[in-house]
Structure 1
């Protein structure tokens, strides 16, 4: 006997149920049931795996008295059910209007299928499959419910450092394959205990069908190891206590979080911060602060509403916050020397939450790596590489498949600017419904801030930030992720897109892949890729008007063989045309010029004024660089190098300790100018190409005349914003799309927004991706999809 609950067609009006008790042996009854009941297949696509979607559907289906089943597959979530189409559509409407908090539904489909009678509603375990065609779910920060659990002495998960539920925990970090099921993650080796299994099967429990469910009895174990490899034997709770004591006592501890290692130290101990800098060879580069809770942050900083939302979100990114009104007891100059913005974050995992609660004050938390290398996730590798940096190692036995740095964001005029897109934000997915591409395309990205973009199907996947490919270990991480993507998506790569620079590692690896796979390879100019990335984000390719592309960065191989970086393009009707640029100046000493602002200044000065900065060089250096200038043929239009030169003039930096230091110090100086009495260094100047040397000379003149350095710095940034508006007027374009690392400067973005307020101009800047070279791989893909079939302008 079975009981089938059948809703009448006027369900919404009367909500009455008809119960039919049928004898399975009675074929006439089955025939009658088949005439009344219909069977449907409903597919939901988007971020619907690893977000509690199946438990949500299960409980909602029970409310509707549906019989059927739900399963994850490579396309998303598939539901099979019996019922009328009218009620099934009402069910879909309820799913769309109030999905689980972490779910993002991008599309759905309903189709009637041959009748299949179900006796109940159940969740089916999915089989591993290739050809994945849904988002790879990112990691989620510890939710409020789990925080309560680990803090409650009466809860069985009290002090359990790997507490998660359907609303939080690692996802992408532990993914081996798809669909997102426990057997496709690195948690597969941890068998659930009786209590965890009961939660997993309890439809009313927050951990119902949670694939990351575990507890101290059956789950992941902590180990505390000294720098010479000796294990400190203690209980799990005692290990947390010992780690907290060590940090408060001035020790540096390498902590394996759920996305990779962090190097942690007491933020109020200036001596240990300097020790960390010395050991990690990171003299001045800013460090991040991790606070126990938001209230502590609020006590120390003035926090905007947007910053609060970002800090508390499931991403739990590092948020750059103005420290000019800092009220705490940390020596901020130890943490971020010379800068007014401090990177602040909250614990993203139960492990870090418990640890910070025991420490009771903020800690310095920086990526667990050697400067320039990728974040470490392997226990043996951590001890081998960090034994001279860390005094202790807090490890665990969960394998991390995709190690990721913490994401970094900041805000300008209430809008978020992504500085580094990684844990919680990556991998991105761009679902472009108008893409008709039928081949599998891989875009290899750039040399710096490298990422991969893959189009194996209708969805576009943008990887996390890897780092700079001039580092051997970063190259290995890049290759490893690429190989894992090939496993997960299971497609044969047919097109490979690379940067035009022949010496980029991403280009070299792309050509190796071409040889291995027989795929065709297309080279795409760096700055045109930047332009395409921002147009892709804002759907600008199908505008019926011209789009001005303002692409400013530090370096990129140009079509003419020079180093571009101060470019103005126009896009219209499938064609990109380079319309203008900053005047070229010399580029010498290869990559050294990007690290030494004094070289940018030397190259921007004419022969008669170069002597004025001779004291910035040794006698030997001066002779070498004079000779290089004399024989040089390589030119650049780089605005990034112009920033370096201005920073050098104002005494901020001759040689950078870290990438981007000069530009950050210049922005920091400009932010201290509290008036709006800016100078336009090109006021009433008529020019074709932007006169780079003239801007430089104006900065020098203002300094000689005794103008405040803060005013000069802010006026320089204001002048750049005015140049953009002037070019838009000259080229008769109302949409201005800006990309490249220079546009991570919040003051420049703010100036642009203020200059275009209440005008017809629309400023478009990368929002889903960073403005820097992280977006190159996406831009390469869109160049291939939207531009490459058209003849380019000259």
Structure 2
């Protein structure tokens, strides 16, 4: 006689809001098993009864072939006392303790839902909020967890009978889809002009009207599923410039939304990694070189001075239905005034953007967590993926951290490109990119996000981690937060946190071999009170030690130096460069700054400012209108390179420092000899790449980890990989941006492995 048994299966990971329970239901039915499946605060719990062999076959298939957008971190199967079930059921979620599972990011619209919207015979024809278990907003609409409809802002839209039928029908793609809505019961769109007048349009003509508005040279603010986008015709030079003027964004490149992949392929040369990035479930903006560009975009207005373009494809139903009506690409940039956070509320959008946008396409779904579009770039030679901005599609999960602590830890990151990291349970959560905390609205969102994390997980932090800079807003807020929760407070040096972020990403803390940390960026408060940014560290178990740096030069005029590359040139210049400076400063300014140099006490080792000095010396950029502009423009001059043709501008000195002024002076000699900008910039990057391996040889290490904003330069990354990949183990940030977004994660890694080990 065959004996029936009962097993409990526990699955953790990204398993809520991804169609996991309906998938389990269908699979259990296929295997003729009975039982239940439900969400709880730790993931998915399955009770299943049947023959042991059948149950294990079911379990194997479930683990090996889970739903497409799920990620299984851990699974366990244990026999329990036999239970009789008359069928297999999906049970309502029950929360018996605190949340302990990954959150679910937003997913790009799937092909099946696109087909539903395109099919005149389908009841979701032209419905812009069409989703299923495999796609749609998740984090953007999450109020609390477990991920159930009544825990999201979609709960404001009760399902109609037809949607309820889909929701309860096991063979339907929307079986237990928590975001299920349709034209009858769902979210409503409305189009208004900037005076508030509502324009009439049927649900089948609305997007044609929006396309016509764009075609006529207007700017429209579109409320997408993760916040507002400001859009205009990317081929219309006049309207692109108008958007720049109104948004107060003079030169920073705009992202461009193409109607389709086929359209994009006709205008830009794409490789396989580009296509993979553009069509992934994250659907980020992907930066593409526009070699042999064949389109009609107003390039010099969309991406001034650049030879690359940030492009994306439609990732929501709203953008897809608009794309269906477009015969041209559109600018699709964050709905804000430059420097402010992305807007998600209708009234605030109208208040802040009515002088920018001519029209508003709005809807009545609350966006709980507004997010900018993520940005990715791939290096030319090695196709190394570099995240420039980690936001929609990626946040708030992080799966690669090795953490074992009974303390609840919150890290408040840096000041520019801020983010928050929280370890309240068995998982680490890293917020979306938040922005520059100098902006009051960004700071307000930063504090609200911090408090929401604490409320969501119902865990007060025992440990608060902040940057060592004494006046960062994140640091000052962290001090208040630690006092409020009676938590331990630790101040962690900026560049050590950068280094720890790479060590943490690649689980290098477990190695006993030393690792060289190459941490180059624009600014960070150093342990000696100077401004660091050109640092070399060595990691050995439980210790990060600074072993070298670029020679100090004068830090002039405070924050103004990071905004004026010509000041970096002045700081690093010698008497032979005075003629260059006279073209950039008045006699009075030169007198003042030269006096400052003589009496200045504050020094810097910043490689970011060295990039600025080179850009100014080559007359490429004297004033940064956006962060990193000079460095971006420098890289833009390099179309290709051959390492055999490169030369060094300097080597490491006997005292183990890098001669910053000598490097710039030797570069200046090539400028005087009339060499091309491409030749000089290529040699500059080659010098930086070579110095890394000189330092590795000095320090006798074979593992090298690089982080900091300088490593957004993909040409530099390619050179490093080409020079050292066969002899060294090289590590870069991959799941996090190399810029200051990774500081919050690095703070947690440094605390766990260097302060609390």
Aligned equivalent of 1:257: 224
* Residues 1:646 and 2:614 aligned together: yes
Alignment of 1:90-239 (within 5 A): 90-127=57-94, 131-239=98-206
Alignment of 1:307-326 (within 5 A): 307-326=274-293
* Residues 1:776 and 2:747 aligned together: no
Q: CA deviation at 1:117?
A: 1.8
Q: CA deviation at 1:86?
A: 3.9
Alignment of 1:1-80 (within 5 A): 8=2, 36-80=3-47
Alignment of 1:610-625 (within 5 A): 610=578, 612-625=580-593
Deviations 1:192-224 (A, max 9, x none): 111111111111111111110111111000011
Task: Determine if contact 2:652/2:659 at 8 Å carries over to the other structure.
Answer: no
Instruction: Name the SS of the counterpart of 1:750 in structure 2.
Output: helix
- Could you tell me how far apart the structure 1 residues matched to 2:751 and 2:51 are? 45
- Could you tell me how far apart the structure 2 residues matched to 1:529 and 1:642 are? 22
Instruction: Tell me which of 423, 426, 431 is aligned to 2:392.
Output: 423
Larger mean Cα displacement after TM superposition, 591-600 or 481-490: 481-490
Instruction: Name the SS of the counterpart of 1:497 in structure 2.
Output: strand
* Residues 1:533 and 2:501 aligned together: yes
Task: Determine if contact 1:130/1:488 at 8 Å carries over to the other structure.
Answer: no
Aligned equivalent of 2:568: 600
TM-score normalized by the length of structure 1: 0.93
Instruction: Name the SS of the counterpart of 1:59 in structure 2.
Output: helix
Aligned equivalent of 1:491: 459
Q: CA deviation at 1:758?
A: 2.7
- Could you tell me how far apart the structure 2 residues matched to 1:243 and 1:622 are? 53
- Could you tell me how far apart the structure 2 residues matched to 1:432 and 1:471 are? 31
Sort the Cα spacing of 1:567 and 1:428 in 2 relative to 1 into closer, same or farther, 3 A: same
Q: CA deviation at 1:449?
A: 0.7
* Residues 1:268 and 2:235 aligned together: yes
Count of residues paired in the alignment: 755
Alignment of 1:447-458 (within 5 A): 447-458=415-426
Q: CA deviation at 1:97?
A: 1.1
- Could you tell me how far apart the structure 2 residues matched to 1:321 and 1:415 are? 13
Sort the Cα spacing of 1:675 and 1:691 in 2 relative to 1 into closer, same or farther, 3 A: closer
Aligned equivalent of 2:646: 678
Sort the Cα spacing of 1:385 and 1:639 in 2 relative to 1 into closer, same or farther, 3 A: same
Q: CA deviation at 1:686?
A: 5.1
Task: Determine if contact 2:643/2:686 at 8 Å carries over to the other structure.
Answer: no
Task: Determine if contact 1:525/1:559 at 8 Å carries over to the other structure.
Answer: yes
Alignment of 1:81-96 (within 5 A): 81-96=48-63
- Could you tell me how far apart the structure 1 residues matched to 2:510 and 2:234 are? 50
* Residues 1:591 and 2:552 aligned together: no
- Could you tell me how far apart the structure 2 residues matched to 1:651 and 1:774 are? 30
Instruction: Tell me which of 405, 408, 425 is aligned to 1:437.
Output: 405
TM-score normalized by the length of structure 2: 0.98
Instruction: Name the SS of the counterpart of 2:399 in structure 1.
Output: strand
Task: Determine if contact 2:401/2:505 at 8 Å carries over to the other structure.
Answer: no
Q: CA deviation at 1:116?
A: 2.6
Q: CA deviation at 1:679?
A: 1.6
Q: CA deviation at 1:591?
A: 1.1
- Could you tell me how far apart the structure 2 residues matched to 1:317 and 1:549 are? 29
- Could you tell me how far apart the structure 2 residues matched to 1:280 and 1:620 are? 34
Instruction: Name the SS of the counterpart of 1:57 in structure 2.
Output: helix
Alignment of 1:321-360 (within 5 A): 321-360=288-327
Task: Determine if contact 2:652/2:691 at 8 Å carries over to the other structure.
Answer: no
Deviations 1:107-166 (A, max 9, x none): 011223333321111111214566221111110111110111111111111110111111
Q: CA deviation at 1:625?
A: 2.2
Q: CA deviation at 1:360?
A: 2.2
Sort the Cα spacing of 1:631 and 1:130 in 2 relative to 1 into closer, same or farther, 3 A: farther
Aligned equivalent of 1:31: none
Aligned equivalent of 1:371: 338
- Could you tell me how far apart the structure 1 residues matched to 2:741 and 2:704 are? 20
Instruction: Name the SS of the counterpart of 1:208 in structure 2.
Output: coil
Task: Determine if contact 1:54/1:71 at 8 Å carries over to the other structure.
Answer: yes
Task: Determine if contact 1:318/1:345 at 8 Å carries over to the other structure.
Answer: yes
Instruction: Tell me which of 253, 256, 260 is aligned to 1:286.
Output: 253
- Could you tell me how far apart the structure 1 residues matched to 2:653 and 2:416 are? 36
Task: Determine if contact 1:130/1:178 at 8 Å carries over to the other structure.
Answer: no
Instruction: Name the SS of the counterpart of 1:105 in structure 2.
Output: strand
Deviations 1:586-622 (A, max 9, x none): 1011111111100111111136644640331234433
Aligned equivalent of 2:513: 545
Instruction: Name the SS of the counterpart of 1:697 in structure 2.
Output: helix
Q: CA deviation at 1:683?
A: 5.7
Deviations 1:3-52 (A, max 9, x none): xxx9x4xxxxxxxxxxxxxxxxxxxxxxxxxxx33322211000001111
Task: Determine if contact 1:128/1:184 at 8 Å carries over to the other structure.
Answer: no
Aligned equivalent of 2:347: 380
Deviations 1:678-736 (A, max 9, x none): 12112697552000001110111000011111100111001000000111111111010
Aligned equivalent of 1:400: 367
Instruction: Name the SS of the counterpart of 2:637 in structure 1.
Output: helix
- Could you tell me how far apart the structure 2 residues matched to 1:586 and 1:529 are? 24
Task: Determine if contact 1:128/1:177 at 8 Å carries over to the other structure.
Answer: no
Aligned equivalent of 2:383: 414
- Which one has a bigger Cα radius of gyration? 1
Sort the Cα spacing of 1:623 and 1:129 in 2 relative to 1 into closer, same or farther, 3 A: farther
* Residues 1:636 and 2:592 aligned together: no
Q: CA deviation at 1:676?
A: 5.0
- Could you tell me how far apart the structure 1 residues matched to 2:664 and 2:181 are? 61
Instruction: Name the SS of the counterpart of 2:444 in structure 1.
Output: helix
Task: Determine if contact 1:221/1:236 at 8 Å carries over to the other structure.
Answer: no
Instruction: Name the SS of the counterpart of 2:465 in structure 1.
Output: strand
Task: Determine if contact 2:652/2:658 at 8 Å carries over to the other structure.
Answer: no
Larger mean Cα displacement after TM superposition, 126-135 or 197-206: 126-135
Task: Determine if contact 2:580/2:617 at 8 Å carries over to the other structure.
Answer: no
Q: CA deviation at 1:562?
A: 0.5
- Could you tell me how far apart the structure 2 residues matched to 1:685 and 1:107 are? 50
Q: CA deviation at 1:270?
A: 0.5
* Residues 1:467 and 2:435 aligned together: yes
Aligned equivalent of 1:21: none
Deviations 1:742-787 (A, max 9, x none): 001000000001001432x011000000000010000000101100
- Could you tell me how far apart the structure 1 residues matched to 2:655 and 2:749 are? 33
Sort the Cα spacing of 1:420 and 1:718 in 2 relative to 1 into closer, same or farther, 3 A: same
Aligned equivalent of 1:248: 215
Instruction: Name the SS of the counterpart of 1:149 in structure 2.
Output: helix
Aligned equivalent of 1:744: 712
* Residues 1:735 and 2:695 aligned together: no
Instruction: Name the SS of the counterpart of 1:309 in structure 2.
Output: helix
Instruction: Name the SS of the counterpart of 1:670 in structure 2.
Output: coil
- Could you tell me how far apart the structure 1 residues matched to 2:642 and 2:466 are? 44
Instruction: Name the SS of the counterpart of 1:359 in structure 2.
Output: coil
Q: CA deviation at 1:544?
A: 2.3
